[in-house]
Amino acid sequence: MNIKLSDWHPEDIKAAIRKKGITLADLARDAGMAGNALRLALSLPRAEAERVIAAALDLHPMVIWPSRYHADGRRKQPQPADNYRAARRFGNAESLSHAEAAV
């Protein structure tokens, strides 16, 4: 069986950050980034913003966005075209959510 992990849903990422007592705006400000830079990374590939978010959650960005990374942790270059689709879906019937994968 070929099991593929799905990217975290943007709301799950925001909730995890809020549970740390911070906001995306706080993280962006602390990193010297534009206010919307981290918000954009929730749905579009943005390497630096992904690293900032993942570091705040004590995770590797690959854990949050597996579609953007190879299995060995290297970032995909170039990113798959599906990672830029505006109507991108988060997960599908063949994927496990990050919560299910942790079990």
Architecture of domain 4-102: Orthogonal Bundle (1.10)
Question: Measured between alpha carbons, how far is 45 from 83 in angstroms, rounded to an integer?
Answer: 7
- What pLDDT is attached to residue 2? 56
- What pLDDT is attached to residue 5? 80
Which among 31, 1, 15 is positioned nearest to 64, based on CA atoms?
15
- In this structure, how many other beta carbons lie within 10 angstroms of the beta carbon of residue 32? 8
* Dihedral (CA of 63, 14, 45, 59) sign: negative
- What pLDDT is attached to residue 93? 38
- What pLDDT is attached to residue 13? 97
Q: Where are the domains of the chain?
A: 4-102
pLDDT tens track for 9-37: 999 999 999 999 999 999 999 999 998 89
Question: Measured between alpha carbons, how far is 66 from 98 in angstroms, rounded to an integer?
Answer: 10
- What pLDDT is attached to residue 35? 82
**Which of the pair, 88 or 95, is modelled with greater confidence?**
88
pLDDT tens track for 45-83: 999 999 999 999 999 999 999 999 999 999 999 888 888
- In this structure, how many other beta carbons lie within 10 angstroms of the beta carbon of residue 28? 20
User: What token pair was written down for 46?
Assistant: 């943005």
